[in-house]
């Protein structure tokens, strides 16, 4: 509720009204809610199954676009302002949001949702490596430590020496989910010709792509009430509002604190899965998750001048 009030605070009110202007600390708190909104993704995806992947994504991403478009209209801003001015940003944005969601959905059908969530969250380390490979960032000692911690954590999460079946496809899709968002993040470092809520446009284009893919590759599944509500929840929370409150906090609050808090997302997601009885957690999974989160925090913590 607080997040919604803050997001709507820029809406044009009568001159007699005195709109609430949050302090940086309050804005940071609002932005931190994105961690919980993103963390519900694995649980909602399980409740949405076995609805076909592209059917789920086409509905969820369309809902995500409507959420962000609605917020922009309530602020009295034009929808045309959501469209990025850069074709490259549009292409990488669509690939990023479509790839991370589609590959994640495939991954959780092959490996546990907790494993998929933690492995996909290697994306900050992937972004570090990509940025260095393209000459956008010089690798420092802390970056090397971050990558090593992330790799060690991934090995523990995947647990190739355990008794569980080593599912190459499931693990590969989880890695591709992270790589999709890492690629977009890396491109965003050199191209900022688009507003933060341009993710709504990416979602709209991705929704159309998913609808076409669904019509060609899948059979429409009659959804139960629980599945339909879960898909709506995916669109509203992780695909829509999470991005809005994140941008609100980043632009008005403490960006450094929010960046570090965001790496708690896979831990919160795993805890939620456990509480709901949707997955089993092993000590190796928890240790691996902590290593990946710690590596991401070390690798992306802003350096002091």
Looking at the domain assignment, is residue 305 inside a domain? no
Read off the pLDDT of each residue in 190-219 and give the average, rounded to a whole number.
88
Check residue 261 and give its pLDDT.
72
Provide the whole-model pTM. 0.80
- 184-211 CB burial, b ≥16 within 10 A, e <16: bbbbeeeeeebbbbbbbbbbbbbbebbb
**Number of folded domains that form the chain:** 1
> Domain containing 246: what range?
29-300
**Cα–Cα distances in Å, from 146 out to 170, 200, 236, 252, 289?**
24, 31, 32, 28, 13
DSSP helix/strand/coil, 282? coil
Looking at the domain assignment, is residue 20 inside a domain? no
Could you give the count of Cα atoms lying within 13 Å of 248 in the half-sphere of its Cβ?
32
Smallest CA-to-CA distance from 101 within 263, 264, 280, 231 is with: 231
Looking at the domain assignment, is residue 284 inside a domain? yes
Lowest-confidence range among 7-11, 129-133, 135-139?
7-11
**pLDDT single digits (tens) 242-287:** 877 876 776 677 766 676 677 777 778 888 888 888 877 778 777 8
Looking at the domain assignment, is residue 178 inside a domain? yes
Looking at the domain assignment, is residue 24 inside a domain? no
Rounded Cα distance, 205 and 82, in Å: 13
Q: Give yes or no for a contact between 231 and 48, defined as CB atoms under 8 angstroms apart.
A: yes
Looking at the domain assignment, is residue 258 inside a domain? yes
**pLDDT single digits (tens) 30-79:** 888 888 898 899 899 999 988 999 999 999 999 999 998 998 898 888 88
Looking at the domain assignment, is residue 3 inside a domain? no
Looking at the domain assignment, is residue 7 inside a domain? no
Q: Give yes or no for a contact between 181 and 104, defined as CB atoms under 8 angstroms apart.
A: no
Secondary structure letter of residue 163 according to DSSP: S
């Amino acid at each position: 509720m607080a997040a919604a009030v803050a997001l709507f605070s820029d809406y044009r009110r009568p001159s007699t009204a005195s709109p609430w202007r949050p302090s940086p600390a309050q804005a940071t708190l609002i932005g931190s809610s994105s961690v919980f909104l993103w963390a519900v993704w694995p649980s909602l995806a399980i409740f949405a199954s076995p609805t076909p992947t592209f059917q789920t994504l086409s509905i969820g991403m369309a809902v995500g676009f409507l959420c962000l478009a609605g917020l922009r209209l309530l602020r009295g801003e034009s929808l045309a302002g959501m469209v990025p001015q850069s074709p490259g940003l549009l292409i990488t944005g669509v690939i990023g949001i479509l790839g991370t969601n589609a590959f994640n959905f495939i991954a959780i059908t092959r490996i546990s949702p907790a494993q998929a969530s933690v492995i996909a969250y290697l994306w900050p380390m992937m972004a570090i490596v990509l940025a260095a490979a393209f000459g956008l960032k010089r690798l420092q000692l802390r970056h090397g430590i971050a990558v090593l911690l992330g790799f060690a954590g991934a090995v523990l999460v995947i647990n190739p020496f355990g008794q569980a079946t080593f599912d190459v496809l499931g693990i590969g899709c989880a890695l591709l989910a992270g790589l999709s968002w890492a690629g977009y993040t890396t491109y965003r470092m050199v191209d900022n010709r688009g507003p933060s809520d341009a993710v709504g446009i990416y979602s709209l284009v991705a929704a159309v792509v998913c609808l076409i893919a669904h019509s060609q590759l899948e059979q429409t599944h009659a959804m139960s009430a629980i599945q339909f509500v879960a898909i709506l929840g995916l669109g509203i929370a992780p695909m829509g509002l999470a991005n809005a409150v994140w941008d609100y906090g980043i632009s008005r609050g403490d960006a450094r604190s929010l960046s570090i808090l965001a790496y708690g997302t896979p831990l919160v997601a795993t805890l939620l899965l456990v509480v709901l009885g949707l997955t089993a957690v092993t000590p190796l999974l928890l240790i691996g998750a902590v290593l990946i989160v710690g590596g991401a925090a070390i690798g992306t913590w802003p350096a002091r001048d």
